[in-house]
Each structure stands twice: as C-alpha cells, then as structure tokens.
Amino acid sequence: MAEFRMNTLLAHPTGNQFFRHLGAALSARGMLGLPATCLNWHPGGWPARWLPAGARAELARRSFAGPWAAGMVTRPWREAARLAAQRLRWQRAVAPETGWCSVDAVYRDFDQWLARQLPRWQREHTLGAVYAYEDGALAQFEAAQALGLRRAYDLPIAHWATGRRLMMEEAERLPAWAATLGGGTQDSAAKRERKDRELALADLVVVPSQFVADSLPASCQGKRVVVAPFGSPASGGGGENSAIQNPHSKIQNGAGAMRPLRVLFAGSMGQRKGLGDLFAAMRLLPRRDVELVVMGAPAAPLEFYRRELPGLIYEPGRPHAQVLALMRTCDVLALPSIVEGRALVMQEAMSQGLPIIITPNTGGADLVDEGRTGFLVPIRRPELIAEKIAWLADHRADCRAMGRLAQLKAEACTWAGYGDTLCAALAC
C-alpha cells in the first residue's frame, strides 16, 4: 500500500476536542502540515470587552493554544454570523440546510474554501493527505483526489442509513417522544447523498467505535477502517486506592437509612439517547431509594419531561468541570442510547467513579466488563434497565466497588492512545 506523505491538512469547522488532540499528536510527530477551522478566538483582543459574558464564554471555546495551532488558518465570518444569529434568535438565518448561516451552510462554505486553497497549500506545505469530518469533506476530497492526495474521513456517529432507520422506528414506537429525536430524520436526500459521496471518496475511514464500523454500508468493503476510541478525562489519580469516592455515597437520612441511589442521565434530552426508555424503567421501580438526575439540554419543554416522570431531578447543562463535580454526587450513569458514535459522557462518568448501564449502540460495549464496571443491556428494554438499577440499589457496597473498577477502565482510555492510533493509520 502506498504511504501517506507526512504533512496532513487537518480541518474541522468548529474545532472540537477530537480535532485538538489529533492536531497536537500530528504536530508532535512532524505530520501536521496545516490545521484549519472557522474561528480561532484571541481572548485578549479589543472586541472582547464589549461582548456579553455569555458570548465571551462561547468564543473562549474557540480559542486554540499550543505549538500545533501556531499556523492555523481560519474562515471566521459565516460561523461568527451563525453564533450571533443564534443569540439574536434569527431562526431563518440558521434554519437547517436552508439558512445562510446554518450549520450546514457553515460546513459547506468552509469545505469549499479549503478546496479552493488546496493546490496552493499543497505546494507551500508539501501536503500528502487531507483529514476531514462528516458533512465538511466533499469539496476537499474532490480537490485532493485531483491532486493525488490521500483522504481520511472521520465519521463520528453511525452511518446515516442506520441512524435514520433506528430513529424512524423510535418515532413509531414512542410517538410522544418523536419531537425529541433531532434533525437526522429530516435530512434532505441531497444531504444524505453528499454524505455518501464523501464516504466513497475516502481512502481511510476513522470511526470511534465498533458500533459505527458495523454500521458502514456494503460499499465500504475493501476500505481501510480504523477504530479510534476517545480518551477519558483525568480521574484525579491512578490505581484503585486513589479512586474518587462519591462524597454522598454513605450519607444517611435523619432516620439512619441510606440515602437514595442517584442514577444520572447526561446528554441531550431526547429518545436518540434512550431517555424515554430510562423514564419507563424508573416507572417500573416504585421505590423511594432510587432517584433519577437528568442533566442536559431539553429537546422539549420541561413540562413534557415532568409529565413523563414527575419525580425527576433536572439539572441544566454547565461547564465541563462542573459536570464532573455533579457526576461525583451520583452513583451510576444510565445511557440506554438508540444510536451514537461513542458517547464521551460514559468515560467521563467512569473517570469519576461511576459504573455504567448502557446499550451496545452507545459505542461503548468495550467499556463494560459485565457486573464489574457496569451492565450492557439491549436497546428498547426498560425492564432490564430497571432490573440493573434495582440490583445496584440493593448492593451499595458492590456498586461502589464497581465504580472503582470503572475508573480504572476509563484510565486505560487515553488521548495519547487516540493520537497514536490515528497517527499510525495516517503513516501507512
């Protein structure tokens, strides 16, 4: 097989943490030709003092530091307009696919701009490869193919055909939750075709889990597919004796009884993540020693969720450090997702000492040592979720021991390993 030349164009419109870790890994190995994103915010600049605190916080997430980002190229204006339109609630401007500064428009504009620059950048940076992400790769890959460059495609979630089929089944199975399923079922035929054209042009397909790899269509047979699991956040120490202890795990109520088992759900509050099934499981548990904490962004009015499960404890989204702190007040993470790529929240919870109850469709089946780090349940089985929660409520010492093992499991998933896997794939 022909080798990649060393220098890679790494491009992501919004610069998520996977992009950041890969950029640093490629740079450390001399393989990063050019990083590219829409916005690279410099917080010390003069406009910052005139912006509301919320806008400054959002822009701070678009700040890139470190040697790897020194030569980053940007395409800021349409993405800046999108952020402003969201804050001002200009819905037509950000309407999916049709809005001038919708997410789709930002991705297409960024992709097309990169494709136009690619011949020049190939000469200036001796590029040998392009690494791009779903929905933002087509024009780059077409230009790269014409220039003889290799094309690496990052697919962060199950292939659209699998996701669409599962979501349409959910809309029929749980119609009350249909409005929470998100935009995947509404993608136009043109957008789906674009995804398939991107995939067809890829030499290398990077996925975060075996679940995503298994979702690839038959047309991908013969392509190189690399599974690169994400890294976990720091857990605060190494080894079982240093595992984070849940500060509430032994708190007793006034009568001397153990306080309720706190089950945590974290993520977008929709049925794609199986929240309807988790609510159904809680309704099967008419006991006072179990409570459900739901943290995330509502996909429907809060009244809907309170009607579905009157006793839920709702926690709004918050900065990452505060998410981890909330996790440490809970006992177990439950994420019965219908379709994911690899939900990072699983490793985040495990890193804070929580065992997990998940489905294979979370992309995290490898994280479960059954009965030791958590439990794996099939999708659409609330009664099995209820069974596992009840067992943990009845076996608190075992639950805490599982949390310590879960933390050790999470520690084995590192961002250094993620970088090593992808750099090795790009080097051959």
Q: What CATH number does the domain containing 367 carry?
A: 3.40.50.2000
Q: What is the pLDDT of residue 50?
A: 67
Residues 6+ apart with CB under 8 A from 144: 118, 129, 130, 150, 151
Residues 133 and 62 in one domain: yes
Residues 209 and 355 in one domain: no
Residues 264 and 370 in one domain: yes
Residues 187 and 273 in one domain: no
Residues 249 and 184 in one domain: no
Nearest-angstrom CA–CA distance, 198 and 216: 13
Contact 298, 316 (CB under 8 A): no
**pTM of the shown model:** 0.91
Q: What is the pLDDT of residue 36?
A: 98
**170: in domain:** yes
Residues 182 and 259 in one domain: no
Nearest-angstrom CA–CA distance, 394 and 201: 53
Q: What is the pLDDT of residue 369?
A: 98
Which residue positions in the chain have pLDDT lower than 70? 1-6, 44-50, 183-184, 236-257
**CA 41 → CA 14, 51, 349, distances in Å?**
11, 13, 30
Q: What is the pLDDT of residue 255?
A: 44
- Tell me which residue range forms the domain holding 283: 240-411
Residues 86 and 163 in one domain: yes
Q: What is the pLDDT of residue 52?
A: 72
**2: in domain:** no
Nearest-angstrom CA–CA distance, 65 and 75: 17
Residues 386 and 271 in one domain: yes
Nearest-angstrom CA–CA distance, 375 and 361: 13
Residues 175 and 253 in one domain: no
**203: in domain:** yes
| DSSP symbol at 3 | P
Residues 189 and 162 in one domain: yes
Name the domain count of the chain. 2
Residues 184 and 252 in one domain: no
Q: What is the pLDDT of residue 4?
A: 45
* Residue pLDDT, tens place only, 394-424: 999 999 999 999 999 999 999 999 999 999 9
**1: in domain:** no
